[in-house]
Amino acid sequence: MMKICIACGMPMENPADFAMGDPDKDFCVHCARQDGTMQSYEEKLDSLANFIVRTQGLDKQAARDAAKGMMAQLPAWKK
């Protein structure tokens, strides 16, 4: 059974994709803190913006704006 991470949208198919390797979690290994709790909005925004800078070459502000738009579509950040 495949789940989608509620915080970043990544498909999670294997136990290693889930936070703490736990398929009952609704978020992925990339959205988990060391203790297995989900990152805050700001933590996720920073890491996603940095990922966009690295992979798409956008400047920091453009990457942050893009990350905000992506995150607004995800269940964890709808509120």
pLDDT the model gives residue 59:
97
Give the number of domains in the chain: 1
Tens-digit pLDDT profile for residues 13-72? 999 999 999 999 999 999 999 999 999 999 999 999 999 999 999 999 999 999 999 999
Predicted structure pTM score = 0.87
CB atoms < 10 A from the CB of 8, how many? 21
Quote the pLDDT of residue 21: 96
Distances (CA, A) of 14 to 26, 27, 36, 49, 57: 13, 13, 17, 25, 30
Model confidence at 78: pLDDT above 90: no
Q: Which domain holds residue 53?
A: 3-77
